[in-house]
Structure 1
Amino acid sequence: MTAPKITVYGKPACPGCAMTTKRLDALGVPYTYRDITTDPAAYDTVRMLGYQAVPVVVAGDIHFGGGFRNNELKQLASTFHTAPDITALERAAEKYLMGEDAA
């Protein structure tokens, strides 16, 4: 199965963006980084999702952001390491966001 794809949208000189990527690195979660200042499509994606600030983290249809979100990053890492594919990741993320046990 294909591992879930995670994208971090950010910009230079953004402390929350640096903290987010550093935390994902420490948690062993692979991701793609897109700079909204040099990538118009990335900028448009962030706006389309309803955010006015970065970082924004996207995993399938699940997204969170607007700042450094340590609890969500830890949950994403936990789920990422146990989810065999994006569908399982999305189900677990939905449970987490609804306040249910993600395990």
Structure 2
Amino acid sequence: MEPPPGAAENSKLRHVEKDVLIPQIMRDRAKELCSDKVQAFTKCCKETGFLMVVKCRKENTALKDCLVGYYTDPSFNEECKAEYLKQREEYRATGIKKKRQKITSNV
């Protein structure tokens, strides 16, 4: 069975898609998945003020470890790539851009 016309074109990614748009989806999703650590770090920073660099190391390390774990996971990258390709396909079919949902966070 042959792939539909334009299928190869639809799976190719431009430089901006690979280096900007898909990583943005990865960052947004990783922040959602690490939301407990984001909240803990934010709370610590609010409570300690200028001393946050010293006092919030534990929370900062936990947050960084969580985020980096997702950023370096090849299967997570593929999930986000598939999500982007689906959004791009929907946009090309309808001409309506799906609005990205922003996470309310102070980080």
Q: Structure 2 length as normaliser, TM-score?
A: 0.28
More helix by share: 2
